[in-house]
Structure 1
Amino acid sequence: MDEFSAHILRQRVEALESATALSIPAAQRLFEHRITTLERGMENLQVQVRSLQNRIEFLERKKIASSIEDAHGGQSGWWTREGGEWPREGLTSTVSNSSHEDKEIDPAQASNIASPMTLLGALEPLSYTQGLNALCQSMSSAVNTNGYSRSKKQELIHEVWDGNIHWKKHGMLSDGDPFRIRYVPPPKAGDVFRTVKIEDLPANVTMSQVLGQVCYGNVYSAHLLNTVRITGYHTAIIVFLFQKEAIDFFKHAKSAGVYVNGVRVRSRIINTPTYPIPHDLRERILHWKCTRCLSMSNVTPEIRACLQDILKRSICKRYIECLQECSERGELVIRFHSVKMASQAYDLLARAPIFKGCHLRFSADPCSRIPKGAK
């Protein structure tokens, strides 16, 4: 064998040795991976077995609950439909004013009433709320523990959801409703449509520039929304104190036009009713002539610096439109984005001892001006 053949043979041997060295760890890793896959498959099978066991237990509880339901006159609406699919009814609670006469409990009837724990134990976890409401109905209809019947009863109203979200809350506005989405006023309510939306605002606009062009009424609140990525422009929401003021401003913007930074903007009245002003704030507006503007007289540089420091450390700092001095009257005027913030700032400054020698009051809102040449 010549030298070249021996060299080729040595290379082949080295290649085989290296391949063998690499294949052994690879085969070991493959074997471990297969073991892991089998273990996960076993875990999945155990989960499925537990799920089937839970389903069997639920069907047994359902059978027991059906007998309880038959004992109570066949009340329905607690459980799933045939095939195990849950109903899509919305659960709403309404109150009726029907009165009932007092009745004594028949001992035979009381012995047939299931205990609360028996009824709740027969419920599937997902139906706890529905079962609890049905439990309250069944117990209140059969038992009168206080010796008298309730003059108001609760009924379950099943309303099929059509798949669309309707931003509407039926009924009058009440303090007991924690999920108030949309205000639905009474039929004869006034000052309902008080909100105006201003569109086509340039990207570099500020709230002060927008409010500088608002007229015909006192502003209750104002918000500047960054909707550039959605609509290509900014949007402002202006809420007036009265509906007539909102309509007058809308007519003025439509006929004469409103310009912000040289751009004519569009405005329209929101067709959704505006929430009413809270009672305490409405009393301040009527009796104290509360506006979104504050005026303070006898202001020295030290008092001005203290005023700015107090406002910066309060929640009102995010809602300040401007703070300017009126040299003619020697007053300092503070304008806020809403009447609510101005009212809170008034209480905050009135309690500070450093402003005891200053005269603090609510001043007129410049947005209540009537434009020149307007009819």
Structure 2
Amino acid sequence: MHVPDGFINAPVSVATGAVAAAAVAVSLRGARRELAGTGQGIGAGAERTAPLAGLVAAFIFAVQMLNFPVAAGTSGHLLGGALAAILVGPYTGVLCVSVVLLMQGVLFADGGLTALGVNITDMAIVTTVVAYALFRGLVKVLPRRRRSITLASFVAALVSVPAAAVAFTAIYALGGTTDVPIGKVFTAMVGVHLLIGIGEAAITALTVGAVIAVRPDLVHGARGLTKPLELRTSPPATPGVAAPVAATTAAPQAAPAPAAPRRSARRVWLAGLAAALVCAGGISYYASTSPDGLEKVAHDQGIDTKTKGHATKDSPLADYSVKDIADPRLAGGLAGVIGVGATLAVGTGVFVVLRRRRTADARPAVGASAAENV
């Protein structure tokens, strides 16, 4: 659903750019809390959440290369908003998808640069907000089980895709550059993206379920799923034996329970990176070459008559293929691997900076509290 240059006029493109910039700014502040691990101060998991968030961005980039057929002559691909929000949080999720869209537009000529605000608004903000709101609502009413998280992920991802189609139709109604019946655009967009949503839901549920199966503590949407351990301060009562009378002298308080040992996320990170590289560097060669949902609707409804050439169409990586490499399998695979590496580097860099700023802001507060207690 990458909108190219020329679909939306300049005023609406500028307006959506402002919306996207404001949402990214809000997400930068919210992501600082999410990346702290616990959400308060310096979380015990803060040192691992930034690399994991960068990995989520790289994984979404890789899986977006895997177009799957949904109807005759039409394909679809992952949008990723639901997956990112559930794995790393809604604010961090918006940033993950935004990083992916930026890398795709700049390096691979996928999605117009003047339409970057439209794409971030539609594919990063709308999908994340809709999916996470629905996900949280379902989690509250479903039993507190791992299967409930997976089921809620499926439904949230399924709904997020047609929601993005509705958002695009609304944006096009405001600033479309061709005079086409909006009702027909709406029907076509929602219809095909309902089918694409099934694929999105399956990928999201499988990924979230796989991570929960091995490390539920790394899934933002599964926080609170595991009950905390209870510390007994007195031996259980024995049948037939009266409970001892309370002593007049207060008994010493039980020693605090030892902190749970930190579990490394290295294996999960390496497995996720390997999966991203395999998807982008190998499986992507077998992806469907049919136009995706937006491209198909744009061609059928005449939306694409004023499409403009991409500013980076001569990029060495344009169209996800390394220039001057004759073998298409090698050219596409190498471009995918480069894209995963670049997205991982940029995403991790952004999230590490945010995490360090959160840590730096938390330290003075901790020091001030200690001084007040002296």
TM-score range, shorter chain: under 0.3
Q: Which protein has the larger Cα radius of gyration, Structure 1 or Structure 2? A: 1
Identify, as 1 or 2, the structure richer in strand.
1
Q: TM-score normalised to the size of structure 1?
A: 0.21
Higher relative contact order (CA closer than 8 Å, sequence separation 6+): 2
Identify, as 1 or 2, the structure richer in helix.
2
